[in-house]
Structure 1
Amino acid sequence: MLRTQQVGWLIAMLAVGLALLAGSALRNFASFELDAAGLIGSLSRAAAVPAQPVADFAHHVGQTQALSEENAELRQEVARLEANLAALREQQLRSAQVTELITAVGPEAADRYVPAAVLFRDPAPAREAVTIDRGLTDGVRVGQPVLGPGATLVGVISAVEEHQARVRLLIDVDSAIPTVVQSSRTQAALTATPEGLRLEFVPSESLVTIGDTVLSSALGGELPGGLLVGRVSAFESDPREIFAYATVEPLADYSRLEHVLVLTDFRPAPPEPDDRTSSP
């Protein structure tokens, strides 16, 4: 609509201009010229009136575009700051977890351990293992114990690479370690079943009670003695059987392991040679 009006005003101004040229030879042309100039000025001002909203609209569009670009830049900056804040919080949490682990074993023993982050868990069914970000270059070796929250034994190094290592957790079905019930000093093997941790080969006459603390045993040299493993949650004994068994409740949440400590100053005893395969 505005464009149509503008075209009409321009046509009118052009007609007046042609009239001026045609009347330039007239006697009273000077008077006519003054009147025409006034008319043209009026027409010009009138033409400018409908054009002003168009100019205002174009200016508004320019401002809106500039504001939109500025808002986009601000949103990007906010996203970047939020990402930095999240990374900082995550770093603080990791530092706090490692500090708690070292505090649990005691600052005086901290140099015996290497902190490690859990990279991922073994997705295979019935397998309970994790991979950590420490390896041979950090002094990690096969057979070394791995501690979780509360200085609790959670697994043993089962394989090592240059910068990574695999930890077989105690709840893995292939795990079996020597343990001792702290109160009665009863020796037993801690194994894993689909139902949980279990003490095997417990003498039936053993004085094992619910709530007893279970520790690692140095018997056989596979592990250092005295590492916290869990607590007895059930004990079943049959007088007709030689051995009883006990259910052990772990003191660590294996599903939430994020950082652990590897006891790098421990070297397990080498396996004894099998007499059946040794040369005469």
Structure 2
Amino acid sequence: MGLSWQQGPLSAGAIGRFLTPDPLPQRLLFAERLRRRMRVQFHDTSVADSENVVLLHEPGRYPVAYFPRADVDEQALVASDKVTHHQDLGDMAWYAVHAGDRTAERAAWEFIALPGHAAELQGRVAFAWRAMDGFYEEDERIFGHAADPYHRIDIRRTSRSLEVRSGDTVIARSGHPVVLFESGFAPRWYVPRADIDETRLHPVEGRTFCPYKGLCDYYDIGDAHRAAWSYRDAYREVDRIGDMVSFEPDQVEVHLDGRRLDIEPGQTVIAHGIDRGLDVDEVRAP
């Protein structure tokens, strides 16, 4: 997902390569100014508010926002004696975050021994995403992690033939699926419900959350657990897949133009956790 997550170009599992004569370092970190106003909320208090945020992309991690100390409420930071070591960026000092009658331990950190080539992060503080009550761009809450400007979703309609089978049973057959291309992932094929035998889809408890698409519902098909999924209330940016269904090619047979799809690199999704205090209505709000 994006620049350094899943199979992005700076991730450990990148599917492409940089065309350079010499090999690049195994770990490349990338920092850049976000160019968006960002706020951090904790206990009805804005503990950080800045238009000068630096975003750090680190292999295998979501992007992290770093705020200049001048834009952080110093009274909200409580120094601790906890110091850890980052393999690329040196020692990290940890802080509790305090506001009102609430304290979140180890909820913020700052690099205190940066190498010279990482000066962009000097004098900046980052906040643990799930320890805070919310992160905002202007007045809109941002879910999951700091917005990754390199994450992209494209949805395309197609007249290709898609068929889904479980054993000898046809679950879906469509001549007009849509395909979703998402940064760092293999293509996902979505089928209109009118082209599906919905009696074969058995809803299961438990949803996951995508910061870019919304809440995801899952279905068992026979003995295949969570073999299909749907964003029934997809965010408006991706509403073309709203209430359509996609199928896992390693759980059921998915045939595209007569060719059976295999599990591809990037096809397996690493589920994203839920933010603090995040309820269904708020997730649906965007």
TM-score band w.r.t. shorter chain: under 0.3
Larger Rg: 1
Which structure dedicates a bigger proportion of its chain to strand? 2
Instruction: Tell me the TM-score normalized by structure 1.
Output: 0.21
Instruction: Tell me the TM-score normalized by structure 2.
Output: 0.21
Which structure dedicates a bigger proportion of its chain to helix? 1
